[in-house]
Chain A
Amino acid sequence: EDQVTQSPEALRLQEGESSSLNCSYTVSGLRGLFWYRQDPGKGPEFLFTLYSAGEEKEKERLKATLTKKESFLHITAPKPEDSATYLCAVCTLMNRDDKIIFGKGTRLHILP
């Protein structure tokens, strides 16, 4: 069964304390992996798309990497405004149609 698991569920860091969020996936055929950020009461905001193992993308303090079984979202020297829920999603092909599966997210809280 296709599955996306994010860990940890929640993470509290001090401002400036770097860390990584994990997204592991089990799918029959990966067509793409997405990272989103979601603030309370808002819709998810697109961050990155990764397509193949070894690919990396960066944006400000965030860097996403991809292997054949998992993706990491590295946060370097985070600030309080980076506090949010980070969602991972995979796109896989099922019965000739694309299927999008989201993980349940990691709630990140950065303490000033």
Chain B
Amino acid sequence: KAGVTQTPRYLIKTRGQQVTLSCSPISGHRSVSWYQQTPGQGLQFLFEYFSETQRNKGNFPGRFSGRQFSNSRSEMNVSTLELGDSALYLCASSSTRDKAFFGQGTRLTVV
């Protein structure tokens, strides 16, 4: 069974640009969550999608948005990038609340 796939693995963007990250969950998983991981703040929850609807949202500005498609694949968008947005962005998929399976992450660097 294929795991959670995130693309791209690495990305370098300029301040002010926007970026879109993609996540393909494990087949059959309908829940996809996004996290930001930085050395200073650790893992912070961004939002969760379930059956194409946002079910939960963390405390991030409106520049961070996401969506989920009918095949459960999800995208995360960050507009007007800031230097502080440099981080590892992780996606996790799950079929139950008992456990989540993470992808390898997308390393975003904003210069």
Please indicate the chain B residues that have their CB under 8 angstroms from the CB of A100 in the complex: 33, 45
Instruction: Count residues of B near A (Cβ-Cβ below 8 Å).
Output: 22
Of A42, A43, A46, A102, the residue contacting B42 (CB under 8 A) is: A102
CA distance A34 to B103 in the complex (A): 17
Q: Interface readout for A27-70 with B: 1 if CB under 8 Å, 0 if not?
A: 00001101010000111111001000000000000000000000
Given contacts A43-B90, A43-B104, A49-B99, contact A98 B42 (CB under 8 A): no
Please indicate the chain A residues that have their CB under 8 angstroms from the CB of B97 in the complex: 31-32, 91, 98
Q: Is A79 an interface residue (CB 8 A)?
A: no
Please indicate the chain A residues that have their CB under 8 angstroms from the CB of B41 in the complex: 104
8 Å CB interface, B59-111 against A? 90, 92, 97-105
Q: Which secondary structure dominates chain B's binding surface?
A: strand
Q: Closest residue of chain A to B44, judged by CB?
A: A102
Of A36, A41, A43, A99, the residue contacting B4 (CB under 8 A) is: A43
B43:A87 contact, CB within 8 angstroms: yes
Q: Interface readout for A90-112 with B: 1 if CB under 8 Å, 0 if not?
A: 01000001111111110000000
Residues in B lying within 8 Å of A, measured CB to CB: 4, 33, 35, 41-45, 55-56, 58, 90, 92, 97-105
- Known contacts A46-B102, A98-B97, A99-B56; can you find 9 more A-B pairs with CB under 8 A? A44-B102, A46-B101, A49-B99, A89-B43, A91-B97, A98-B56, A99-B45, A102-B44, A104-B41
